[in-house]
A and B are shown apart, each in its own frame.
Chain A
Amino acid sequence: MAVPWKPDFEQLVDEHQAMVFSLALRMTGDRGLAEEIAQDVFLELDRNLRKIESEQHAVNWLRRVAMSRSADALRRRRVQGVHLWVELDEGAGARSEKSGSPLGARLERLLATLPEAQRAALVLRYQEELTPEEIAETLNAPLATVKSHLQRGLKLLRAKAESLREFVRGD
């Protein structure tokens, strides 16, 4: 008989805080808000810890709740008329440039300009390396819709990156 998984909340926070924070940050573009979302997500995990059956279940759960909380936060901000995507620009650029990828430095910035659904699909695809099926499950969306968001998002991002390259060359 398999030994039942005993979750250690502190260890889960240690291991997955970067993932939850990165998802929220890439979805909202606001470090403060992302931190708040990450806190809420982990507290919700604590309240639901009894229902979590394995480490993988915990990771999937965290991804799903982080994405849904980020979407809620974006919706609330839209209602309040607040514009996000301020802090990520400078922060992302500086850090990515240090890591040595010239285009990568601006890709995150361009990602921020994509529609929310496409951004969500791309973040899960390229940050979390999920398959379209897994993304559909995480976002609770039909597979065809997710595939379409991935395709369109990537196309749009590619076009934006291309025009940015041309702009830099022309400069």
Chain B
Amino acid sequence: MDEFEGELSEAMTLRPAPPSLKNKIMQRRWRERAERQRRRVAWWRRIAAAIVLAGAVGGGFAWRYRQQQRKGEEARQQVLTALRITNHALNVMNAQLQQNNQQEQ
């Protein structure tokens, strides 16, 4: 290192930071942290709301599906009952017809 470089090194000593710099950094840090915390809470709220909403929608669909299944089952039972009644009526008619035929013979 020659004389010129020595003078350059001497000229390049650290400059003192403004006295308010640390305070400003700490204040901005506090604000940023508070903002991050606020955003985190908002995100969790959104996630919770989304879960509740998804649960409600899913529950609604499940309920509707069950209702439809129940109605379908009821309709099936009604058709079966109607078929049983019809079958019974036809059996009675058939028996009567057979009885009539025998009497005529």
A residues with a Cβ closer than 8 A to B are 9-10, 13-14, 17-22, 25-26, 31, 35, 38-39, 42-43, 46-47, 95-96, 99, 101, 103-105, 107-108, 122-123, 126-127, 129, 154, 157-158, 161
Give bound CA distance, A101 to B9, whole Å.
Answer: 11
Q: Are B7 and A104 in contact (CB under 8 A)?
A: yes
With A10-B26, A43-B29 in contact, is A17–B12 under 8 Å at CB?
Answer: no
Q: Are A42 and B11 in contact (CB under 8 A)?
A: no
What are 20 residue pairs bridging A and B, where the CB atoms are less than 8 Å apart in the complex? A18-B15, A18-B17, A19-B14, A35-B17, A35-B24, A38-B21, A39-B25, A42-B25, A43-B28, A43-B29, A43-B32, A104-B8, A126-B5, A126-B8, A126-B9, A127-B13, A154-B8, A157-B8, A158-B4, A161-B4
> Which residues of B lie under 8 Å from residue A123 when comparing CB positions?
12
Give bound CA distance, A154 to B4, whole Å.
Answer: 9
> Which residues of A lie under 8 Å from residue B24 when comparing CB positions?
35, 39
Is the CB of B10 closer than 8 A to any CB of chain A?
Answer: yes
Cβ distance A9 to chain B, nearest Cβ, rounded Å: 7
Give bound CA distance, A43 to B31, whole Å.
Answer: 11
The majority secondary structure among interface residues of chain B is: helix
B residues with a Cβ closer than 8 A to A are 4-5, 7-18, 21-22, 24-26, 28-29, 32
Cβ distance A8 to chain B, nearest Cβ, rounded Å: 13
Give bound CA distance, A14 to B16, whole Å.
Answer: 11
Select A103's contact among B7, B16, B26, B28, beta carbons within 8 Å: B7
Among A123, A126, A127, find the residue whose CB has the most chain B CB atoms closer than 10 A: A126
Q: Are B12 and A127 in contact (CB under 8 A)?
A: yes
Give bound CA distance, A35 to B29, whole Å.
Answer: 15
> Which residues of B lie under 8 Å from residue A35 when comparing CB positions?
17-18, 21, 24
Select B10's contact among A42, A104, A129, beta carbons within 8 Å: A104
Q: Are A14 and B22 in contact (CB under 8 A)?
A: yes
Give bound CA distance, A168 to B8, whole Å.
Answer: 19
